Amino acid sequence: MDNEASTAERLEQYKQQLLNLSGIDPHNGDSAQRMAFTLEGIGHTLVVKLNAKQKRELMQFLYESHLISKDDPVLRLHGFDFNSADLKDIYLQGAYLHAVKLEKADLRNANLKGANLIGANLTNADLTGAELTNATMRDAEVTEEQLGSSKSVRVFEWPPGQWVWTPKLQRNDSTAQDQS
């Protein structure tokens, strides 16, 4: 029961954080602002409107509130738009970031150790110095060059004990020509 109350409290804090960042007043009678306040629905609608710094604040809040813990995620951020987010030096060890959009995000020196990044879009994200040990990155959109700039490229794929890297690799024209 205490765990349920704690989760409900964290979800309410998340909702309030999103509302504060968006400027939406849920008590206003305007029907356009009385959208269904499902947490994931709010997130999809509002995260795209946030600037790079606000996206960082939200991601940090979600992590610190244990809402995106890999082992027991309360929220699933599938398709959430954290593109161009300023996540430099952020600590997201063990975060559940499955299919999150992180295109052009600044992830320099980020700690993503053990994070679930399956299907994440990391196109043109800066991973320089990022810690990716044991991160699950199957089907992530990331290049070898990006991973090469990170602190580590040892990534984890299910089942336990199998250490392989199987992202979708983006190929530039020179790579395609070299293999012809």
In the predicted model, what is the mean pLDDT of residues 102-113? Answer: 97
Q: Residue 80 pLDDT more than 50?
A: yes
Q: What is the pLDDT of residue 175?
A: 40
- Please provide residue 105's backbone torsions phi and psi, each rounded to the nearest 5 degrees: -75, 145
Highest mean pLDDT among 3-12, 87-96, 137-146, 153-162: 87-96
pLDDT of residue 148: 83
d(CA 149, CA 162): 23
Calpha distance 45→35 (Å, rounded): 10
**Digit-coded pLDDT (tens) for 33-55:** 333 344 566 666 678 878 899 89
Mean pLDDT for 72-92 is: 91
- 8 Å CB contact between 131 and 111: yes
- Higher model confidence: residue 44 or residue 124? 124
- Residue 31 gets which letter from DSSP? G
* Domains by residue range for the chain, with CATH: 51-170 (2.160.20.80)
Q: What is the pLDDT of residue 119?
A: 93
- Tell which residue, 133, 103, 96, has the closest CA to residue 118: 96
Alpha-carbon span 164 to 45, nearest angstrom: 35
Distance CA 156, CA 136 (A): 5
| pLDDT at position 129 | 93
